[in-house]
Structure 1
Amino acid sequence: MTGSMPYGTERDPARLVSFSDAVIAIAVTLLVLEIRPPDDTRHLWHGLAALWPSYLAYAVTFMLIGQIWANHHVMFDHIRSADRVVLLLNTVLLMDVAFLPFAASVLAEAFRDGHGERAAVVLHGIAFELAAILFNLIWWHARHRRRLLTDTLDPAGVTAIARRFQLALAWIATGTLLGAGYPPLGVAVIAAFIPYYWLPIAGKLARVRRRRRR
């Protein structure tokens, strides 16, 4: 369904989602390219072990980008059309995602060298905090008067998704602030966000269960 609206023509978001998938796939692929093999192959095991900051930054960033991808699909499963505002905000979100391999590289380098860890954790956290902000903005815009949402999601589901996105905003901000004081704690708090955020969204599950009973 398309039409002329105050925020421009509304489009089927399928192409937006496909383009987003491609950008996210490239971003997670670039992450591993930041892990450089040790120069001294005579002590290879020692050199590989010394790369632990790179492995950590890779794993944490990969899983967080994976969450961005998964929740991007959760969000656009319920957005029936995209206007110019959604296109703009999603473009900025993808720009941020493309920056994440650099932030991960800076984080790994800082912990490996033992200098600049606070700044590196804050940079890494801010990059993901921006993604959380953009998720909240896209969802807020789409749910406003339900103008862009599908009819298959009830109000409880809309609220449940909003709360999950708001939690991401608070959780990552907390980890970033803690990282400015004590970098390992900041990384630990942000990493702890990973297993929790992969849990299903309770409000959506309740809606599915109600439908199955019928």
Structure 2
Amino acid sequence: MEKETGRIEAFSDGVFAIAVTLLVLELHIPELKDGDTPVHLLNALKIQWPGYIAFVISFFSIFIIWVNHHKIFKQIYKRNTGLMFANGFILFLVSLVSYPSALLAKFFLSDSKQLSVTIYTGLFVLINLAFNLLWQQATLDKKLLRPGISDTAIRRLRNNYLYGFPTYLAAFIVSFFYPDLALAVCVLLWVFWAASSKKINFTETPVL
């Protein structure tokens, strides 16, 4: 069967690339005065450590999202309007990651830390919902999927994203009270996604 999703995947890859590039723009070069020494530069760089953490977390979150997006589209061979809009919703949310990442970098050491973390974790709740929506749209009509894909593989991929939702939601709720813990939960979930994505095998024969 000819794969019809080439343009969707190419456009999506471009959006992911731009989203990652936007993160770099939030890393600012410190401003020094005449006569400042390397020690002053080092101290100025140290002050910006929340920005570095936000960049690393956001970069790898987008990378893991891209990996999972790639794996989903290895199973999708045809497209319809519902699937294209669901994919567009994911891309819309991914393109927003740089903004809460910038908020996190700027306000992590301030009294607005909790709100910045809440906005950040809330975005990933929406991204998880968007992935669930994409896979739901793809599986409503099995003719859109790779020929020969088993019901077991369909359920396994569905569960991979369904299980993530309560965890992201928990991180969002926890962020109102313990923002550091909320971020840690998100990071651990991304590690889980990275580990679980390579374990998913879509070549098994259907269970009869």
Query: What TM-score do you get using the length of structure 1 for normalisation?
Result: 0.87
Query: What TM-score do you get using the length of structure 2 for normalisation?
Result: 0.89
> CA-atom RMSD, angstroms?
2.0
Match of 1:23 in 2: 15
Deviation at 1:181, TM superposition (A): 0.9
What CA distance in whole angstroms lies between the structure 2 residues aligned with 1:60 and 1:203?
23
What CA distance in whole angstroms lies between the structure 2 residues aligned with 1:121 and 1:75?
28
Q: Deviations over 1:66-111 (max 9, x none)?
A: 1110000111110111100111111121111111101100111111
What CA distance in whole angstroms lies between the structure 2 residues aligned with 1:167 and 1:63?
20
Between 189-198 and 143-152, report the one with greater CA deviation: 143-152
What CA distance in whole angstroms lies between the structure 2 residues aligned with 1:153 and 1:181?
43
The sequence identity of aligned pairs, in percent, is 27
Match of 1:68 in 2: 65
**Residue 5 of structure 2, aligned match among 3, 7, 13:** 13
Q: Deviations over 1:157-198 (max 9, x none)?
A: 111111111122222211111111111111111111122111
Deviation at 1:202, TM superposition (A): 7.8
Contact 1:160 1:203 (C-alpha < 8 Å) held by counterparts: no
Q: Which structure 1 segments of 5+ residues have no match? A: 3-10
What CA distance in whole angstroms lies between the structure 2 residues aligned with 1:69 and 1:152?
24
Deviation at 1:138, TM superposition (A): 0.9
Runs of 4+ aligned residues of structure 1 deviating over 4 Å after TM superposition are none
Contact 1:161 1:203 (C-alpha < 8 Å) held by counterparts: no
Q: How many residues align?
A: 200
Match of 2:166 in 1: 170
SS at match of 1:181: coil
**Residue 115 of structure 1, aligned match among 107, 111, 136:** 111
Match of 2:148 in 1: 152
